[in-house]
Structure 1
Amino acid sequence: MLLASVNLNKRLGATGARSNLATWLREHGVKILLAQEPFKPADRTPPALAGFTLAGGDGHLAAWANENLAPPTVSSPAPWVQRVELDWLIVLQVHLDAYGSAARAAQLTELTEMVTAEKGRPLLACGDFNLAPRPADGTFGEETSDFTTQAERTALHQLTQAAGLVDTTAEEAPAFTFERVFNGRHSRFRCDLALLSDHLTATTTITVDDSVRIGPAAFTDHSALLIDLPLTLQAAEPDDVLFALSELTGDRPADAPARREYQPHKTAMSRQAPSPASRAVTKHLTGPLGIRTILDHGCGRGADVAHYRATGLEAEGFDPHDDFGWPRPERRGFDLVTSMFVLNVLPDPWQRIQALKDAASFARPGGHVVVVTRSPEEITKAAADGGWSIHHDGFWSSQSKGTFQRGISPGEIIALARQAGLQLAEGAPALPLPGVCYAVLTKPTA
């Protein structure tokens, strides 16, 4: 799903600029448009944009969705930031103060508080930050610009560290997104940024498009960011759907698009024997780590729980699917919590983080969490062989059953685990598990 972020420099009110923008959006297949300074005056009614529906905003910040998509929920925590909910992803569109370094530093501190309040939810913070993240990202003539202060860079660093965000366009040679001539000297900045949760960088492509500010079809003086996200958004409802009636009665028109429900429990195998992963845990991990108590989180029908008990461990199981008969345990403080082939059947990164947070809540401080997933190579091959359709960052393995699969690498497991408050367990024994991915994690003591 392609999202575009661009500072329009108040030009959307001009017919020519609006026409060029509409052509550019259509040619690139943009589905969500986030615009900083789209028009003036700021409180005027937004002009119509062909093929798009205004989701919310004003002349400072505005968001549009392709007319074939359900508009996202948009709110404004502050005049300079807009919060856009794109399914499992939170996007914070920003336009920081253009004139005061102290104001920008304060806004970055406030933005850090906002991302912290999201409690690990996958994030994209994008827009015009009006600063150079590194000295090399701002020049004035042949010299390094002194427009950005160290206080701003420190605040930006604290923002990225607080939420595990990556400055995705920070190449060795800056791709300047803004250029003007002041007093006969060129001022150039990489100020239009896309800060993305680190666990999403492998599945998201971000490019800088200078054509929107250079050439005969230009419609602004900032480059645009094209952000291809692993998102499948909900289609717009037909215009004739009676929303109030359907919400009250639960009835839906016969021709309305069906809302698929995820049913990850249908991927659970009916095992007559313990999984190779659980056998590897008892053979290589429980002894060296001094494990006495263990919880299998997402245990399915419980074959691995029986194996753990048979080896002398005090073991319990939990699975949120009631029919499996493993209710949520009342006790906490397990030495080890296992999550076997759970993350790869959950359809988005936020649900995976939430599952890891829940698993971690059962481990004692200093205890361990073992996560095992299907590998990207295995899922890619299965998808090709089975003709699976793409959904979010993975595939519908069966649309009729509502089952999803995604291969998850060890690096991605660790990145997701950081958002859940877990760390890689340094020095933990390796598990001989060919063809699958895993990580041994630990819950900090403080």
Structure 2
Amino acid sequence: MLLASINLNKRLGATGARSNVAAWLRGHGVKIVLAQEPFKPAERTPPALAGFAFAGGDGHLAAWVSEDLASPTVSSPAPWVQRVELEWLVVLQVHLDAYGGASRAAQLAELAAMATAEMGRPLLICGDFNLAPRPADGLFGEESSACTTEAERTALHQLMRVACLVDTTADEVPVFTFERVFNGKPSRFRCDLALLSDHLTATTTVTADALVRSGPAAFTDHSALLIDLPLTLQEAEPEDVLFALSELTGDGPAAAPTGREYQPHKTAMNRQAPSPASRAVTEHLTGPLSIQSILDHGCGRGADVAHYRSAGLDAAGFDPHDHFGWPRPERTGFDLVTSMFVLNVLPDPWQRIQALKDAASFARPGGHVVVVTRSPEEITKAAADGGWSIHHDGFWSSQAKGTFQRGITPGEITALARQAGLQPAADAPVLPLPGVCHAVLTKPRKIFDDLPVA
């Protein structure tokens, strides 16, 4: 799903510029438009953008969505930031103060607080930051510009650190997104940024298009950021439909005609023997880590729980699907919590983070969490062989059944786990699990009970 972030410099109200914008969006297949300074604030009615529906905002920050898609939830926490909910992803569109470094530093601190309040939900923060992240990103003539202060850069780095964000366009040689001539010298800045949750960088492409500010079809003086996200958005309800299917069946939102009824429990195998992953845990992990108690989080029908008990461990199981008969345990403080082939059947990164938070809530401080997933290679081959359709960052393995699969690397497991308050375990051996991916994590020795689980 392609999102465009661009400072339009109040030009969308002009017919010629608006026509050029619409042609450019159509040519690239953009589905979401986030615009800074889209039109003059005095123009109280947002200009119509061909092929798009206005989703919210004003002359400072505004959003449009392709007319074939359902409108997202849009709010304005502050005049300089707009919050857009795109399925599992939260986008914060910003236009920071153009004139005051101290003001920008304060706004960045506010952004850090907003990001922290999202409690690990995947984030994209994009827009016109009006600063140079590094000295090389802002030049006046051939010298570094003095417009960006060290206080601003410190605040930006703090924002990226607390929210685990990556500056996606930070190439070694800066690609400037804004250029003007002041006092006979060129002023060049990489100020239009896209900060993205680190676990999304492998599946998201960000490019800066400078053609929108040069040539006959130009319509602004900033480069546009084209952000290709692993998102499948809901389609708009047809205007001639009087009743949603859910209203007729009484089954609630999940029964709406979107094909989005996820049923991950249908991927659970009916094992007669323990999984190779559970055998690797008892053969290579429980001894070195002095594990005595263990919870299999997402245990399915419970074959691995039986294996752990047969190995002399104090073992329990939990699966949110009631039919399997493993209700949520009342106890916590387990030495080890296992999550076997759970993350790869959850259809988006936010659900995976929530599952890891829940798993972590059962481990004792200093305890461990083992996560095992199917590999990208295995899933890619299965998708090709089975003709699976793309959905979000993975595939519908069966849209009729509502089952999803995504191969997840150890690095991605670790990045997701950090959002859940977990860290890589330095004291754990690598498990011999060919053909699948895994990570052994630890819960830091501090109180995590106040970390909410959605």
Is the TM-score greater than 0.5? Answer: yes
Change (3 A) 1:246 1:317: closer
Gaps of 5+ in 2: 447-454
- Paired residues, what number? 443
The equivalent residue for 2:205 is 205
The equivalent residue for 2:132 is 132
- Please list the CA deviations of residues 69-97 of structure 1 after superposition, one character each: whole Å capped at 9, or x if unmatched: 00111000000000000000000000000
Query: AA paired with 1:324?
Result: F
SS at match of 1:160: helix
Change (3 A) 1:131 1:317: same
- Please list the CA deviations of residues 12-68 of structure 1 after superposition, one character each: whole Å capped at 9, or x if unmatched: 001010000000000000000000000003551101000000000000000000000
The equivalent residue for 1:12 is 12
Change (3 A) 1:245 1:356: closer
Aligned counterparts of 1:248 and 1:428: Cα–Cα separation in 2: 53
The equivalent residue for 1:162 is 162
Tell me, yes or no, if the aligned pair for 2:280 and 2:432 is still in contact at 8 Å.
yes
Aligned counterparts of 2:77 and 2:260: Cα–Cα separation in 1: 32
Report the TM-score when normalising by structure 2. 0.96
CA RMSD of superposed structures (Å): 1.4
- Please list the CA deviations of residues 308-366 of structure 1 after superposition, one character each: whole Å capped at 9, or x if unmatched: 00000000000000000000000000000000000000000000000000000000000
The equivalent residue for 2:172 is 172
Aligned counterparts of 2:90 and 2:42: Cα–Cα separation in 1: 24
Change (3 A) 1:42 1:324: farther
The equivalent residue for 1:143 is 143
Tell me, yes or no, if the aligned pair for 2:235 and 2:258 is still in contact at 8 Å.
no
TM-fit CA distance, 1:241: 2.9
Tell me, yes or no, if the aligned pair for 2:41 and 2:58 is still in contact at 8 Å.
no
Matched, 1:66 2:66: yes
Tell me, yes or no, if the aligned pair for 2:234 and 2:258 is still in contact at 8 Å.
no
SS at match of 1:161: helix
Aligned counterparts of 2:43 and 2:283: Cα–Cα separation in 1: 67
The equivalent residue for 1:86 is 86
Tell me, yes or no, if the aligned pair for 2:213 and 2:219 is still in contact at 8 Å.
yes
Change (3 A) 1:47 1:331: same
SS at match of 2:366: strand
TM-fit CA distance, 1:242: 3.4
SS at match of 1:6: strand
Query: AA paired with 1:429?
Result: P
Tell me, yes or no, if the aligned pair for 1:42 and 1:60 is still in contact at 8 Å.
no
The equivalent residue for 1:292 is 292
Alignment of 1:370-389 (within 5 A): 370-389=370-389
Aligned counterparts of 1:260 and 1:120: Cα–Cα separation in 2: 23
SS at match of 1:331: coil
Moved more, 256-265 or 87-96: 256-265
The equivalent residue for 1:364 is 364
Aligned counterparts of 2:97 and 2:340: Cα–Cα separation in 1: 47
Aligned counterparts of 1:348 and 1:142: Cα–Cα separation in 2: 45
Aligned counterparts of 2:311 and 2:249: Cα–Cα separation in 1: 53
Aligned counterparts of 1:297 and 1:245: Cα–Cα separation in 2: 34
The equivalent residue for 2:116 is 116
Matched, 1:273 2:260: no
Change (3 A) 1:28 1:244: closer
Aligned counterparts of 2:244 and 2:386: Cα–Cα separation in 1: 40
Query: AA paired with 1:31?
Result: K
TM-fit CA distance, 1:430: 1.4
Aligned counterparts of 1:77 and 1:242: Cα–Cα separation in 2: 34
Query: AA paired with 1:260?
Result: R
The equivalent residue for 1:409 is 409
Tell me, yes or no, if the aligned pair for 2:141 and 2:186 is still in contact at 8 Å.
yes
Report the TM-score when normalising by structure 1. 0.97
Aligned counterparts of 1:44 and 1:12: Cα–Cα separation in 2: 13
TM-fit CA distance, 1:429: 1.0
Alignment of 1:96-111 (within 5 A): 96-111=96-111
Query: AA paired with 2:234?
Result: Q
Alignment of 1:240-251 (within 5 A): 240-242=240-242, 250=250
Query: AA paired with 1:437?
Result: C
Aligned counterparts of 1:107 and 1:289: Cα–Cα separation in 2: 45
SS at match of 2:94: strand
